[in-house]
Chains A and B, each alone.
Chain A
Amino acid sequence: MPEPTGVIHDIGYQRYTGPRLGRRHVFGALYGHGLRTVFGLGRSAKAKIFPWLVVGIVTVVAAGVTAVRSQLGQVVMTYAQFADAMSWLVIFFVAVAAPELVSRDLRSGVLPLYFSRPLPRDDYALAKLLSLVSAIWLLLGGPQLVMFLGAAFTTPDGLRGTWNELLDLLPGLLYAGLWAVVFAAIGLLVASLTGKRAFAAGGIVAVFLMTTPVVGVLSILPSRAVNELAYLASPSTLVGGVGTWALGDLLVPADQGGGIPIGSFGPVYAIVAVLLVSACTALLLLRYRKVAAR
């Protein structure tokens, strides 16, 4: 007699005896999940609109710059300048991405589900921070790669030209990394303070925009030192200041004015940037200590 086929057996609950991965894998899983969340992957179509709009814009700009350069043979903007030119978009991108990463979790009350698992609460915050840093870096670095490819294939100097182009690209990518670290640290800290996404987004934009007039006021005061230190007051100009000091004419060619006038205060800018990022990260971790205990 043939065996009956297609019968579904309820074999009941099965205990799991397989491997359980350690802290590093869990951190990696949370990081990957965060990175996907920022770009709306695995989420609703609505969540994909804004991030991909921004990605589209920066890519089109990069392609345009590359096209102009290959046609006219004139460098419209350096790799690092590209990051500066896109700063507005980055601010709005952070204002949408950071609340998506942390405010949503605060609001839905899902955090107890994370903190009742082996994952330490610091890991949660750091994984989210790292995924936002990576997302911003990819946003700025991807178009730079487009510019590089365009320049490398159209360079008249052959391999030599490609190599020079690569030497220009790498500082540009580092500079994009600086943007990413500073903006992610500030943005995520602001977003972690509220569960309401609209408030978080408004708060982030406010932090970046309200500080710009401060720079404007300080930079016209009748003191040279104050003028040169004025750019510390806003995250965007702070990053620009560090860039000017570290990259020099790789950031802004001398014939275009030579970047932000920071005088000899370059190291101060670098130190302030490091302190700012460390302080924001420390406050973020403190914030999650408090949240986890609730």
Chain B
Amino acid sequence: MTLIATESLTKTYGGRVTALTDLTVAVEPGIIGLVGANGAGKSTLIKILLGLLPPTSGRVSVLDLDPTTDPAAVRARVGYMPEHEALPPDLSAAELVTHLGRMSGLPRTVARERASETLRHVGLYEERYRPVGGYSTGMKQRVKLAQALVHDPDLLLLDEPTNGLDPAGRDAMLALVHRIGTEFGISVLVCSHLLGEVERICDTLIAIDGGRLLRADRIDAMTSATDLLAVEVSEGTDQLAGRLAALDLPVTRDGRMLLVPLVDERTYDLILGVVAELDLPLHRLDQRRHRVAELFAPREPSNA
């Protein structure tokens, strides 16, 4: 099954502002990261997927349904967490999530049960009976996530779920999203302008810029070919580099570290053998994944 597929999807506002241009992408279920700068068209894409905005041209399907012709069927199976503040301050989280569960068609008692269950899953316990107005930003984000989950969707659309959170809160939110995608068995589309964040939890990455597709692929396909081993010794770095080069390993220096392409398991043994032979104090030896960011890094400015 294809989770989300678009074909030459284009959206222009009022014939002047272009939000999406000729976007063609198809992704499988899993955790999908949608990355792009502010204004790249992420929110527009989400609104089209929800059937809230009609595309100017092109085709789109979500869970093999067409949001332009049957938005209600799509929305019944999708949960949406908006980017902006979206909670009435004087309701408690339990009441709000219960009400929104009923708006998704859950019977009254089921809505109440699932509301407290989903709030527990996102980490809200006794606080859920207090008015949302007194919550911290982290708790509000959790409530927004819970309301997207309450009707047990097959796909979650999360628009900047880590917005406004401190580093610890970001980690907690990302861990939660990862758990939803793996343990709960619900596909997730996470929108973010921070690549470093989503690449930690995603299987698939879609990068858009200025409404155009930069790249869409599985994350392992993006990173596998570029793994490096980083070796750092307290002394004798030059000596080590010389010996490794003599073993036909293409060594490059990166500050105090040596970077060696990881061909297979034997690369470890070779390096360790040389270090032991030279009796050097080994500081670190670890696998350094090429960060996906480097794949999208802007070209060096010519006048630099």
Contact = CB atoms under 8 A, between A and B. Distances in A.
B224 to A, nearest CB: 31
30 contacts: A13-B185, A15-B185, A16-B110, A20-B104, A21-B105, A25-B105, A25-B107, A26-B105, A29-B103, A29-B108, A30-B103, A43-B91, A108-B85, A108-B87, A108-B89, A112-B80, A112-B86, A113-B80, A113-B86, A113-B100, A113-B147, A114-B103, A116-B50, A116-B80, A116-B82, A117-B76, A117-B103, A117-B104, A118-B73, A293-B52
Q: Do most interface residues of chain A lie in helix, strand or loop, or is the interface mixed? A: loop
A42 to B, nearest CB: 7
Interface in B77-110: 78-80, 82, 84-91, 95, 99-100, 102-108, 110
A120 B103 contact: no
Given A43-B91, A113-B80, A114-B100, 12 more contacts: A20-B76, A20-B104, A20-B105, A20-B151, A26-B104, A42-B95, A108-B88, A109-B82, A113-B100, A116-B78, A117-B104, A118-B73
Contacts of A113: 80, 82, 86, 100, 147
A118 B90 contact: no
Nearest to A43: B90
Contacts of A293: 52-53
Given A16-B114, A109-B82, A112-B82, A119 B90 contact: no
A105 interface: yes
Contacts of A26: 102-105
B87 to A, nearest CB: 6
Interface string B172-215: 00000000100111000000000000000000000000000000
A220 B147 CA distance: 58
B24 to A, nearest CB: 24
A42 B88 CA distance: 14
Nearest to A30: B103
Chain A interface residue count: which class?
35 or more
Contacts of A7: none
Contact of B52 (A13, A18, A116): A116
A33 interface: yes
Given A113-B100, A116-B50, A118-B72, A21 B106 contact: yes
Contacts of B288: none
A169 B199 CA distance: 69
Interface string A187-215: 00000000000000000000000000000
Contacts of A43: 90-91
B117 interface: yes
A44 B131 CA distance: 10
A117 B114 CA distance: 16
